[in-house]
Structure 1
Amino acid sequence: MHFTRSSGVLVHPTSLPGPPGIGDIGPSAHAWLDQLTQMGCALWQVLPLGPTGYADSPYQSFSSFAGNPNLISPESLIAEGLIDEAEIQNAPAFPVDRVDYGAVITWKRDLVNHAFDNIGALQDDFERFRHAHRDWVGDYGLFMTLKDLYGGHSWTLWPPLLRDRDPAQMEKASLAYTTEIRRHEFAQFLFFRQWSALRRRARSLGISIIGDIPIFAAGDSADVWANRQLFQLTETGEPAFQAGVPPDYFSETGQLWGNPLYRWDEHQRTGFAWWTERFRAVLRFVDIVRIDHFRGFVNYWEVPGGARDATKGRWVDGPGETFFETIQRELGRLPVIAEDLGELDPRVPALRDLLGFPGMKVFQFGFDTDRTSEFLPHNYPRNSVAYTGTHDNDTTRGWFDSLDEARRSFVLEYLGTDDSQIAWDSMWAVWKSRSVLALAPLQDLLDLPTEARMNRPGTTSGNWQWRAIPGAVTAEVQQRMQALNRATRRKPGKRRRSGE
């Protein structure tokens, strides 16, 4: 797929200002699209949109096909007559600059349940939705219902007959908990309905949404529970082998992610059918897909299931070119950004280039060596996507403040500036590069310190909580972005196609 020279902002809907408790996909998100248009941006990048599980991480979702009910807009529910305005007016006193997930989840669930009780004229639309998504939504609804029933515990700890999906027990549970299952399915109906309206608005404004697809499914998910044959599991459903990355300069023990690894032989036997549907599903939500840990399709770090760290692993080859060729025969050319960061097997960039996918360049990674670094903007190739930082990085201001004196001097010398506008000066360097797409986290547009960081890899608390405060994206910020896009030829209407 050819991308045109353009720019955008990385911000997950949870971080948008406005609604009580958490950013959502209702009127405030529509207003955000208007602001992007005023900035001259054509891209909005979000994190995975699925229902969050462990540690509230978008990368550990209960389903690869479902949407996050916490993103459902109460204002949109009021507009459809599904809840009363008083339910927002009586909302808990949530903080405005961060998400208190524990409080938000309970409140949003109550709102959705009240909406379900008032389904009324939407009943037929809901039934059509259930039929259209019958391949996954029933399993998801039952999974979430049983998870509630058993205190939120992993499906591997459920009674064995339900854990193993005994047909008689599955039918019995489906009949016994029909209403509860329908409530979870209805939450999906609402999410899809609201997201579809938001995406239509984005398209009408000429804005493409960049989504994110984690390579590995969460072990505690409807995906794994309903498709055990596709994953390397023990008899009780625990990972026989788990995902991670090996020890490196940053970690003596590596990173242990805990996700079960795929049985790639089984996926290939089925023509990668599950993965094809996964791509089809995410492309219903977004226009472009960032593949997290792209290198895992070439080779991945296999760690024994019972290991406590990632030291005792080994590299195992993934499905490689065959995987993408098979899926693209079914879906056509995939609009993919390959997350290709870190130490790589030479076959990883070779596969990326063979497929024509742009890789990623991150400005903050450019100052550990010298001016030959591939992460310095003057070295970026045209077929790449350039970032000041990602959700896993510190804010640019926080990153700069954490550097030693030598690296700070290198940064300032490279930028030819002082540190008073470090985030914006970094954005100028990234935007001026040859990279076809340029993006920055919203925190950098606001020049925020490290306290606004979205995620600290390797930690499990305090992440994914940041929110922009109301009024943060001022007219001045929008005007500065518009000037930046105009000066660097990234403003919509004045763009060139990649490769020209």
Structure 2
Amino acid sequence: MKFNRSSGILLHPTSLPGPDGIGDLGPEAFRWINFMADTGCALWQVLPLGPTGYGDSPYQCFSAFAGNPYLVNPFLLQEDHLLTAEDLKDRPTFPEDRVDFGQAILWKLKLLDTASANFKRNASAELRQEYEEFLAENQDWLPDFTLFMAIKENFGGVSWDKWPKELRKRDAIALAEFKYNHAESIQRHSLRQFFFFRQWDAVRQYAKEKNIQIVGDIPIFVAYDSADAWANPDLFYFDEKGLPTVVAGVPPDYFSPTGQLWGNPLYRWDFHEKTGYEWWLKRIKATLKTVDFIRLDHFRGFAGYWEVPFGMPTAEIGRWVKGPGKKFFQKVRNELGDLPIIAEDLGEITPDVVEMRDEFGLPGMRILQFAFASDSTDPFLPHNYVENCVAYTGTHDNDTVIGWYQSGTDQEKDFYRRYMARSGEDVAWDLVRGVWSSVAVFSLAPLQDLLRLGNEARMNYPGRPSGNWTWRVRPDYITPAFLQSIREINRLYSRMNKEKIHK
């Protein structure tokens, strides 16, 4: 696929301002798109948009297909006559600069339940028709997901391996009985999805009108406690009880002496191949209905992945197993044509990963924060970039640039100052200029780096089980000077959306 030289900003919708405790798809999302368009940026990168569970991580969702109902905006539901001003009167006081997930989720679910009840009572004929069309268009995944969530809710939220055997094993009679007895709960979850996708479609349509393309994210693995794993056990290495026999992780390295035990179930790639990778094709096509480009997380796992026996306390004991390799991407390309995919090729990359990435013309990732720990041959230094790559100051898993600099080694700081010919007084923008001025076809930075924020604004600490994903931008972040500063670097480095200015 032809990627055009442009720039963008990484900001998950949960980080947007707004009065309801968590960023969402309401007026602030449209204001954000206006801001991006005014700066000349062409790309908005988000994290996975699925329904989050324990730990609030967008990388551990209850479904690879569903949307996150906590992103639904109450004001827009009010415009649809599904909420009233009275419903919003007892809104709690939320912190402006972070998400208090517990409080925000309770508030959002209360409003969503009220909106669902009002939909059943008095939704317009037009809205009902839209809902029926939504149900019909999403038969591939929606019935399994809503049933999964209703059963989960019925049993107090426990993981599906703790459900009664008949429901865990998807006994047809038991499922039919549950559907009959819990039809209202199932419909409530269907309506939450309808509200989400209706609002997201409006946001995406507005982005298109402003010539903004959205970069989405597909994690290679799904969560064990997900509708995907429960409804499709043949796709994974599970035993008779539905428990994984092996799980995903990363082996020990310099940064982690015991490795990283992710715990996600692993795919039976031989079975996927026999089905023509049907589930994966559905997943990619569903994602491309919601975004323009896909960042494929842990791309190296398609070449080979670290398999850990289930029950191990760490990832130290395991083995490398070959992934589906080129056959998989050939099938995807046959179905989709050119691939609008960014390969997240970070970490220990072997020659077969590079070969697979390059054969399909996929741009890899370059993180400038990683560049200063070695010498001038480091692939993350801008003079070593190729055009077909996506350059970042940092990602959601890194500290902010200022946080990185403040905690970095003397060697890294010295190398950065010499390489960039800068003093360190404006390190965040030094790195922004580094990626924007490079040959990389896409340059992106988290909003935190463009705002010159420190460690307090970090989004995620990999391996930390809670307390992540909470950062929110304050409502007064857009100033004329800030907007103009981004517009200026887009002009300087020929990354302006719509127009190319070479002055």
- Give 1:84's aligned residue: 84
Please point out which of 189, 192, 212 is paired with 1:187. 192
Given residue 311 of structure 1, which amino acid in structure 2 is its aligned partner?
Answer: E
Q: How does 1:91-490 map to 2 (within 5 A)?
A: 91-119=91-119, 120-121=123-124, 122-490=127-495
Given residue 455 of structure 2, which amino acid in structure 1 is its aligned partner?
Answer: T
User: Shift of the alpha carbon at 1:42?
Assistant: 0.2
Q: Any unmatched runs of 5+ in structure 1?
A: none
Contact 1:6 1:495 in 2 (8 A): no
Residue-by-residue CA offset, 1:273-307 (whole Å, 9 max, x unaligned): 00000001100110000000000000000000111
More deviation in 280-289 or 89-98?
Answer: 89-98
Given residue 404 of structure 2, which amino acid in structure 1 is its aligned partner?
Answer: W
CA distance in 2, matches of 1:326, 1:13: 32
Q: Secondary structure of 1:461's partner?
A: coil
CA distance in 1, matches of 2:265, 2:399: 29
CA distance in 2, matches of 1:19, 1:330: 43
Residue-by-residue CA offset, 1:113-163 (whole Å, 9 max, x unaligned): 111112111222212211111121111111111111111100000001000
Q: Secondary structure of 1:118's partner?
A: helix
Contact 2:491 2:500 in 1 (8 A): no
Q: Secondary structure of 1:285's partner?
A: coil
User: Shift of the alpha carbon at 1:235?
Assistant: 1.5
Q: Any unmatched runs of 5+ in structure 2?
A: none
Residue-by-residue CA offset, 1:21-74 (whole Å, 9 max, x unaligned): 000011110110000011110000000000001200000000000000000011
CA distance in 2, matches of 1:429, 1:149: 52
Identity %: 52
1:58 matched to 2:63: no
Residue-by-residue CA offset, 1:232-261 (whole Å, 9 max, x unaligned): 012121111100010000011100000000
- Give 1:28's aligned residue: 28
CA distance in 2, matches of 1:19, 1:312: 47
Residue-by-residue CA offset, 1:142-195 (whole Å, 9 max, x unaligned): 111111111110000000100000000000000100010000000000111000
Given residue 332 of structure 1, which amino acid in structure 2 is its aligned partner?
Answer: G
Residue-by-residue CA offset, 1:457-485 (whole Å, 9 max, x unaligned): 11111100000011113221110000000
CA distance in 1, matches of 2:332, 2:128: 35
Contact 2:373 2:411 in 1 (8 A): no
Contact 1:156 1:236 in 2 (8 A): yes
User: Shift of the alpha carbon at 1:495?
Assistant: 5.5
More deviation in 11-20 or 335-344?
Answer: 11-20
More deviation in 150-159 or 230-239?
Answer: 230-239
CA RMSD of aligned residues (A): 1.1
- Give 2:19's aligned residue: 19
CA distance in 2, matches of 1:13, 1:32: 10
More deviation in 1-10 or 85-94?
Answer: 85-94
Residue-by-residue CA offset, 1:85-132 (whole Å, 9 max, x unaligned): 233342111111110111111111111111111211122221221111
Contact 1:55 1:461 in 2 (8 A): yes
- Give 2:7's aligned residue: 7
- Give 1:70's aligned residue: 70
User: Shift of the alpha carbon at 1:366?
Assistant: 0.2
CA distance in 1, matches of 2:136, 2:74: 25
CA distance in 2, matches of 1:438, 1:302: 34
Contact 2:40 2:498 in 1 (8 A): no
CA distance in 2, matches of 1:69, 1:389: 28
User: Shift of the alpha carbon at 1:494?
Assistant: 4.0
Given residue 64 of structure 2, which amino acid in structure 1 is its aligned partner?
Answer: S
Given residue 70 of structure 1, which amino acid in structure 2 is its aligned partner?
Answer: Y
Normalising by structure 1, we get a TM-score of 0.98
Extract structure 1 runs of 4+ deviating beyond 4 A: none
Contact 1:20 1:88 in 2 (8 A): no
CA distance in 2, matches of 1:407, 1:143: 49
More deviation in 39-48 or 99-108?
Answer: 99-108
Contact 2:388 2:441 in 1 (8 A): yes
CA distance in 2, matches of 1:332, 1:226: 29
Q: Secondary structure of 1:462's partner?
A: coil
Number of residues of Structure 1 aligned to a counterpart in Structure 2: 496
Contact 1:4 1:495 in 2 (8 A): no
Given residue 41 of structure 2, which amino acid in structure 1 is its aligned partner?
Answer: C
